[in-house]
Amino acid sequence: MQRMDRSLPHRRYNPLTDEWILVSPQRATRPWLGAVEKLAQARRPEYDPACYLCPGNTRANGAVNPPYTGVYVFDNDFPALLETPRAAPGVEESSAQSPILRSQLETGVCRVICFSPRHDLTLAELPVAQIRAVVDAWAAQCEELGARDDIAYIQLFENKGEMMGASNPHPHGQLWATRHIPTEIAKETRGQLNYLLGRRNCDGQPAGLPLLLDYLALERTAGERIIFENAHFVCLVPFWAIWPFETMILPKRHVRRIVELTEPERDALADALKRLTTRYDNLFEVAFPYTMGVHQAPYDGEPHEEWQMHLHFYPPLLRSATVRKFMVGYELLAQPQRDLTPEQAAERLRGLSEARFA
Positions marked catalytic: 172
88 forms beta bridges with: none
The CB density around residue 35, as the number of other CB atoms within 10 Å, is 9
Please list, residue by residue across 316-344, b when 16 or more beta carbons sit within 10 angstroms of its beta carbon and e when fewer do.
Answer: bbbeebebbbeeeeebeeeebbbbbbbeb
Distances in Å between the alpha carbon of 135 and those of 162, 229, 274? 24, 18, 12
- Structural contact between residues 253 and 232, judged by C-beta atoms closer than 8 angstroms: yes
Residue 86 exposed, middle or buried by CB count within 10 Å (0-12, 13-18, 19+): exposed
Q: Which residues are within 8 A (CB) of 86 and not within 5 positions of it... i.e. 6 or more apart?
A: none
User: What is the rounded CA–CA span in Å between residue 275 and residue 93?
Assistant: 45
User: What is the rounded CA–CA span in Å between residue 231 and residue 221?
Assistant: 17
